[in-house]
Structure 1
Amino acid sequence: MTAKTTLKEIAERTGVSVSTVSRIINSPDDTFARKPIRDKVWEIVRETGYTPNQSARALKRSTESPAKKPLTVTCILGRTRNFEDNPFFAQVARSVEQQALSMGCSVSKPYSVLDVSERLLLKEAGSVKADGAIVLGRFKAGMRNFFENHYKNIVYVGRNVIDADWDQVVCDGYEAGKTALRYLMELGHRRIGYIGETKDEVRYRAYADAVKECGLDDDRALVASFPQDSAGGYRGAGYLLRASVPRPTAVFCATDISAVAAIKRFSEAGIRIPEQLSVIGMDDIEIAQYVTPMLTTVSIPKVELGKVALHTLLDRINGVHRLPIKIFLPHKLLIRESTAKPKVSE
């Protein structure tokens, strides 16, 4: 980039006002403006290496010193091909990028380790000399060496702790799962189904432990082992409709995106939510409060995960800490409309 990109130039390329671009970049929950416009703005930000005017920001934040050369950070998707497939990590990544810009860093285009060949992956990683990387979600064991060979400074973000000597920012999916199941039991549900992955998945372990420890119905037909995406949620609901007799009175979905799809499948089968079947998810993605009925879920602090990850990465780059650290953030139960007490007849 030969000349510093300005908000005005981004606005002209996007076809919106400068104030709109500014508000999109600084939106605390990434909800300002329509999604296509937001995505276009951030695409240009990454493409141009845009960084805010640090002289102006220094006046606003007198305790901060503007960097002589902006640090570059990148986000890497560990287990999904793109953000459309995983709105949870999409919001975490957006939080990382917003925080990076606010601190005078440059952000590069994120990429996935799943959708490119090894040769293209090497090219993708080498195309931008990032000072640090934030890995979003778990990844295949063989990828650890790839990350460590290409990035000196790495922070992992997810709902599961991983076996790596990296800094990790985690919201414990096991405890969040226990919270979801505890709430369903408090409502009176004993026959609870599960939709999600089962191998090395702490949310499934929370389900399995609850079944064992609390004397819930122990029926393998209640476990729909499917990917934790929209297609997996839809297929998982179909499996429960076919295999579980009697059907569960409640279903715990490992993610909101799978829960929304499951509700669609159950509704297509004529099952009323929550009168006949309660559904609870995890994450609190944007769509969760707009579906009908609004989804009861366990909220994972996506914005905070992104902010803490970025601060942790910069501390690592600047030598503030040397030993790998683990930071755990809390979750919160959000009771909405998709759960209710089971019918007495059930």
Structure 2
Amino acid sequence: MSIKKIAKEAGVSTATVSRVLNNPGYKCSSEELRERIWKIARELNYMPNEAARNLKKGITDTSQKVWYLDVLMTRTGNLETDPFFSELLRVIESEIHRQGCILMHIFHQPLFSNDRKCRTENIDKVIAQMEPDGDIRSDGLIIIGKCNDNVLKKLSAKYKSIVSVNRNSTNYLVDEVICDGKRIAALAVEYLIGLGHRKIGYVGDCHNESRYKGYQDTLFHYGIDMDISYVIEAEHTEAEGYAVMERLIQRGDAPTAIYCANDMIAIGMLKCLNKYKNRYYVPSIISSDDIEEAQYTKPMLTSVRLPKEEMGKFALYMLVDRLSGGHKGIVRTELEGKLMIRESCTLVENANRMEYYI
């Protein structure tokens, strides 16, 4: 199946299709168009040129075998809710095609990230619904996001190879590429402490969330008491961040700095501050992930960048290596985050300054 066919189905030029499929950093005119191109490519079983040439030559060597792969998204059923996972998926899709593999299915199953629900739901039935309709059975699976241990074990019986790409470890149940959430949180909180802040809050998931644990551990390491009233459990969405900031503005005693578990929470908080322009409460705000939107907020958001490109490339390398008869034991690859300092944090003595919000 050629790029011309995909372009015709999508109603765009072949150049646009080529850029979308081969360059994860390419800024398409809209996310909807990007997703439509990828959807058509999957439906038409688009095969990169290198893989197609190998099939025509009858090459069966495992090092050049065409692998059929699935992707499982467990964090959210809506890619717009958390753009980090959308950006990571974009990298992985492009890398799958670059490696000469074929992406068969993208599954969205947030249930698998919820340990409590996994104990009460019929997991076997949900997994059975992931069975393909056709004759081709996928060889490997990339899991993006946290996944219940029991689900991992069941999926391991279904696929020849699985790689988990996440912020938290799977306890060596499958190969994994992680950017340790505790270290990410430590980078953020240490930066706030370096600016003189001692009243540091946390907004995000508090249940089995490594970033929350990293926040706690870092405060303890520096001898700073954690005020539980500064810890606000919230979903990782822009709307939640906005609502939390509305409540904080009305409080008498509030943290001078806030670490948000992801960028979407922080972006919601910044939008709230921009709307109310409250001169009496303007906290420093820092977060994690560094999605594309972070550098376009007002003020520009300080965030810890996760290396999405490297995470995607390592995941594909590990998956294909095991499928090709390479490594046998469980392998964990840990990557480091990078602090991206912008405008949303200030020295504690400069707190409540509104220049970026006016």
Instruction: Work out whether the TM-score is over 0.5.
Output: yes
Q: Name 2:81's counterpart in structure 1.
A: 85
Q: Name 2:119's counterpart in structure 1.
A: none
Residue identity in the other structure for 2:287: G
Q: Aligned partners of 1:217, 1:241: CA distance in 2, in Å? A: 22
Conservation of the 8 A alpha-carbon contact between 1:30 and 1:94? no
TM-superposition CA deviations, 1:48-107 (whole Å, max 9, x none):
22111117988xxxxxx8977521111101231132222112222221111111111111
Identical residues among aligned pairs (%): 35
Q: Name 2:198's counterpart in structure 1.
A: 190
Conservation of the 8 A alpha-carbon contact between 2:153 and 2:173? no
- Aligned pair 1:330/2:326, yes or no? no
Conservation of the 8 A alpha-carbon contact between 1:11 and 1:21? yes
- Aligned pair 1:311/2:280, yes or no? no
TM score, norm. by length of structure 1: 0.88
Conservation of the 8 A alpha-carbon contact between 2:290 and 2:305? yes
Residue from 6, 12, 16 that aligns with 1:16: 12
Q: Aligned partners of 1:129, 1:262: CA distance in 2, in Å? A: 45
- Larger deviation, residues 46-55 vs 192-201: 46-55
Q: Name 1:233's counterpart in structure 2.
A: 241
- Aligned pair 1:31/2:39, yes or no? no
Conservation of the 8 A alpha-carbon contact between 1:134 and 1:309? yes
Q: Aligned partners of 1:46, 1:218: CA distance in 2, in Å? A: 49
TM score, norm. by length of structure 2: 0.85
Shift of 1:30: 4.3
User: Are the structure 2 counterparts of residues 236 and 147 from structure 1 closer, same or farther at C-alpha, using a change threshold of 3 Å?
Assistant: farther
Q: Aligned partners of 2:254, 2:225: CA distance in 1, in Å? A: 11
Q: Name 1:74's counterpart in structure 2.
A: 70
Q: Aligned partners of 1:234, 1:329: CA distance in 2, in Å? A: 31
- Aligned pair 1:296/2:292, yes or no? no
2:132 aligns to what SS in structure 1?
helix
Q: Name 2:158's counterpart in structure 1.
A: 150
Give the alignment of 1:138-217 within 5 angstroms: 138-217=146-225
Residue identity in the other structure for 2:261: A
2:141 aligns to what SS in structure 1?
strand
Residue identity in the other structure for 1:110: I
Q: Aligned partners of 1:344, 1:96: CA distance in 2, in Å? A: 42
Conservation of the 8 A alpha-carbon contact between 2:284 and 2:351? no
Conservation of the 8 A alpha-carbon contact between 1:77 and 1:136? yes
Shift of 1:146: 3.1
Q: Aligned partners of 1:309, 1:185: CA distance in 2, in Å? A: 34
Residue identity in the other structure for 1:27: N
Q: Aligned partners of 2:247, 2:332: CA distance in 1, in Å? A: 37
Q: Name 1:266's counterpart in structure 2.
A: 273
1:126 aligns to what SS in structure 2?
coil
Shift of 1:180: 0.6
2:19 aligns to what SS in structure 1?
helix
User: Are the structure 2 counterparts of residues 26 and 139 from structure 1 closer, same or farther at C-alpha, using a change threshold of 3 Å?
Assistant: same
1:44 aligns to what SS in structure 2?
helix
Conservation of the 8 A alpha-carbon contact between 1:276 and 1:343? no
Conservation of the 8 A alpha-carbon contact between 1:224 and 1:237? no
1:91 aligns to what SS in structure 2?
helix
Unaligned runs of 5+ in 2: 55-60, 113-121, 353-358
Residue identity in the other structure for 1:18: T
Shift of 1:12: 1.1
- Aligned pair 1:114/2:110, yes or no? yes
Q: Aligned partners of 2:228, 2:351: CA distance in 1, in Å? A: 23
For the aligned residue pairs, the C-alpha RMSD in angstroms reads: 2.6
Q: Name 2:138's counterpart in structure 1.
A: 130
User: Are the structure 2 counterparts of residues 15 and 230 from structure 1 closer, same or farther at C-alpha, using a change threshold of 3 Å?
Assistant: same
User: Are the structure 2 counterparts of residues 83 and 146 from structure 1 closer, same or farther at C-alpha, using a change threshold of 3 Å?
Assistant: farther
- Larger deviation, residues 70-79 vs 264-273: 264-273
Q: Aligned partners of 1:140, 1:267: CA distance in 2, in Å? A: 39
Residue identity in the other structure for 2:314: V
Conservation of the 8 A alpha-carbon contact between 1:193 and 1:252? yes
Q: Aligned partners of 2:309, 2:104: CA distance in 1, in Å? A: 19
Conservation of the 8 A alpha-carbon contact between 1:66 and 1:104? no
4+ aligned runs moved over 4 Å, structure 1: 55-58, 65-69, 115-118
- Larger deviation, residues 286-295 vs 30-39: 30-39
Q: Name 1:62's counterpart in structure 2.
A: none
User: Are the structure 2 counterparts of residues 147 and 266 from structure 1 closer, same or farther at C-alpha, using a change threshold of 3 Å?
Assistant: farther
Q: Name 2:291's counterpart in structure 1.
A: 285
2:105 aligns to what SS in structure 1?
coil
User: Are the structure 2 counterparts of residues 123 and 30 from structure 1 closer, same or farther at C-alpha, using a change threshold of 3 Å?
Assistant: farther
2:5 aligns to what SS in structure 1?
helix
